[in-house]
Amino acid sequence: MVMAMTDAPIVTVIGGSGFVGRYIVQAMAREGWRVRVGCRRPHEAHFVRPYGVVGQVEPIQCNIRDDASIARIVAGAQVVINCVGVLFESGKNSFAATQAEGAARVARLAAAAGATRIVQISAIGADPESPSEYARSKAAGEAAVREAMANATILRPSIIFGTEDQFFNRFAKMARLMPVLPIVGGATRFQPVWVQDVAEATMRVATGGAQPGVYELGGPNIYTFRALIDMMLHAIRRRRLVIDMPFWMARLQGSMLGMLPDPPLTRDQVLLLERDNVVAEGARGFAELGIEPEAPEGIIDSYLYAYRPYGQYASLTESRRAQDQ
């Protein structure tokens, strides 16, 4: 098996230990690829090794802001996948440095190293004219990737959910502690997509199973932000008062909270919430990739149960109560 792995093609997944990246690593390993997992702290990413056989998956140090480390990790790779993204700016990890300049660096060095395919994980809403710096930097990254390699593939998912997500988990934690949940943009529409479906889509385009280009990835259903919060509350068996703040108030609050090390809300995020986050009409997506995406209703219970009043024993408690009635 070790000898077989030395003959396997190589894929480099930049940001492969992150929320989305780890699922892409698993998908590529299942297809028999040798996977280099690019991350800033490889000593904290040993959990990726069991995704494949011995020696198949290897975490390697790299920094998307550094030419030398990126050149080293893409050398000899047939496919390069960039999953790096930030939800808020912190120190040197600005939107421009990571999502625009970083994406450009990965694509330029991957193309120079002879990679045959590049996949860039972007986001629905990437727009050079957006008021949000996050969205503008995503668009700049896309443009740089396409300039470096004409047959690059850009994947634009809507909000991604899954066991380690920063959406349902974040609000479930708040609901466990707070009697009132403040939200912004309750009427804004989203098309949440399962992380496993995003990984499957990435694997298919990365291995040549689909035509290169731009794909917008949204789940089977569209929900308002408020509807997603209600779905989360139902999953964790809690009742909370949900208050939708007006955008002007949220922008002020986001400006102040944005100065925290791990801000619950930033002004840039408020600007994003002012626009719907759904697949554009006529855009290529899961259908063209031969994938039928899953809806969150059948999945979030599998990981949000930890936030229920009785945690993993909630179903037993509910069953006993039903018997006693």
pLDDT tens, residue by residue, 253-266: 999 999 898 898 99
Looking at the 3D structure of the chain, how many domains does it have? Answer: 1
At 150 the pLDDT is: 92
Percent of the chain with pLDDT over 70: 94
User: Is residue 63 one of the residues assigned to a domain?
Assistant: yes
Q: Residues 140-156: what's their mean pLDDT?
A: 97
For the chain, give the secondary structure using H, E and C: CHHHHHCCCEEEEECCCCHHHHHHHHHHHHCCCEEEEEECCHHHCHHHHHHCCCCCEEEEECCCCCHHHHHHHHCCCCEEEECCCCCCCECCECHHHHHHHHHHHHHHHHHHCCCCEEEEECCCCCCCCCCCHHHHHHHHHHHHHHHHCCCCEEEEECCEECCCCCCHHHHHHHHHHCCEEEEECCCCEECCEEHHHHHHHHHHHHCCCCCCCEEEECCCCCEEHHHHHHHHHHHCCCCCEEEEECHHHHHHHHHHHCCCCCCCCCHHHHHHHCCCECCCCCCCCHHHHCCCCCCHHHCCHHHHHHHCCCHHHHHHHHHHHHHHC
Note whether residue 170 is domain-resident.
no
Supply the range of the domain harboring residue 97.
2-163+192-220+277-293
Note the pLDDT tens digit of each residue in 97-131.
999 999 999 999 999 999 999 999 999 999 999 99
200: in domain: yes
pLDDT over threshold 60, residue 155: yes
Is there a domain that residue 86 lies in? yes
pLDDT band at 2 (very low <50, low <70, confident <90, very high): very low
208: in domain: yes
- The pLDDT assigned to 3 comes to 42
pLDDT classification of 315: cutoffs 50, 70, 90: low
Domain CATH number, residue 129? 3.40.50.720
Tell me the pTM.
0.93
Residue 129 lies in a domain: yes
Residue 226 belongs to a domain: no
pLDDT in tens, 166-200: 999 999 999 999 999 999 999 999 999 999 999 99
Q: Is residue 54 part of a domain?
A: yes
Q: What is the mean pLDDT of residues 144-156?
A: 96
